[in-house]
Structure 1
Amino acid sequence: MTGDVGLSRILLVISAGGIAGSLARYGLAEAVPHGTGGFPWATFATNMLGCCAIGVLLARLRPNSHPLLRPFLGTGVLGGFTTFSTFAVETERLLPDHATTALVYFFGTLAAALVATWIGDRVASR
């Protein structure tokens, strides 16, 4: 892929997509705050929406798609939008005093992420 479009162009579109995805994630987190010990709904929703979109993207992109589309949308926008590092930190912060919430959040997120990706793929494959 890098021979056709150039590594610098790929890095540029990934960066641009990452900025867009990160700003969207930040906006969602600000719109749906959670208190200490509360279920992190914004992060959960962000990751579910992102996983569903990844399923759609992988189902719809074709080998003849523009070579910068996948890096921009997949690695850039959706990579910047989803936040499994925040998911890990939030789980760790919940564990000492809110173990039940932490476990529901942890296992619920993993299961829901797989289901969301599958749904995105199935819907887009039709």
Structure 2
Amino acid sequence: MILLLTLAGGLGAAARFVLDGAVRTRWPSRFPWGILLVNVLGSLVLGFLTGLVLNGADPQWRLVLGVGFCGGFTTFSTAMTDTVRLARDGSVRLGLLNLLGTLGATVTAAAFGLGLAVLL
């Protein structure tokens, strides 16, 4: 189990690096769109996995994919660091947008994923 968690976490971190880099390259901006997208997608997947487990799926899937992959994929610490960086650089509105947008979008995505899995 430890090996699976480690592998899944590494794959999640690599996927985050690739996706964030692709977004930043394609749409350069002071706002951290790539990290926001990563956190929203990770929350959606974790909500979906949680819903599957509530419907009787093997809880080890949530452990490996949720804790491992999503844990490596998502990065709320980077989102909060980006928020502080934006505010310090004089973009308080963008910082606030990042803070509230991350909170609202990730909670909504998790709820949507949970609801979607419960419907299946």
TM over 0.5: yes
Identity, in percent, stands at 35
TM-score by length of 1: 0.84
State the aligned residue count.
114
* More helix per residue: 2
What CA distance in whole angstroms lies between the structure 1 residues aligned with 2:86 and 2:17? 21
- How far did residue 43 of structure 1 move? 0.3
Give runs of aligned pairs for residues 45-124 of structure 1, distance below 5 A: 45-61=37-53, 65=58, 68-96=60-88, 97-124=90-117
The answer to whether the 8 Å contact 1:60/1:125 transfers is yes
RMSD: 1.4
What CA distance in whole angstroms lies between the structure 2 residues aligned with 1:63 and 1:57? 11
TM-score by length of 2: 0.88
- What stretches of structure 1 of length at least 5 have no aligned partner? 1-9
- What stretches of structure 2 of length at least 5 have no aligned partner? none
Larger radius of gyration: 1
Query: In the TM superposition, what whole-angstrom CA distance separates every residue of 1:7-42 from its partner, at most 9, and x where no partner exists?
Result: xxx22111010011001000011101144xx21100
What CA distance in whole angstroms lies between the structure 2 residues aligned with 1:70 and 1:12? 15
The one-letter code sitting in structure 2 at the alignment partner of 1:109 is T
Pair 1:123–1:100, CA change in 2 (3 A) = same
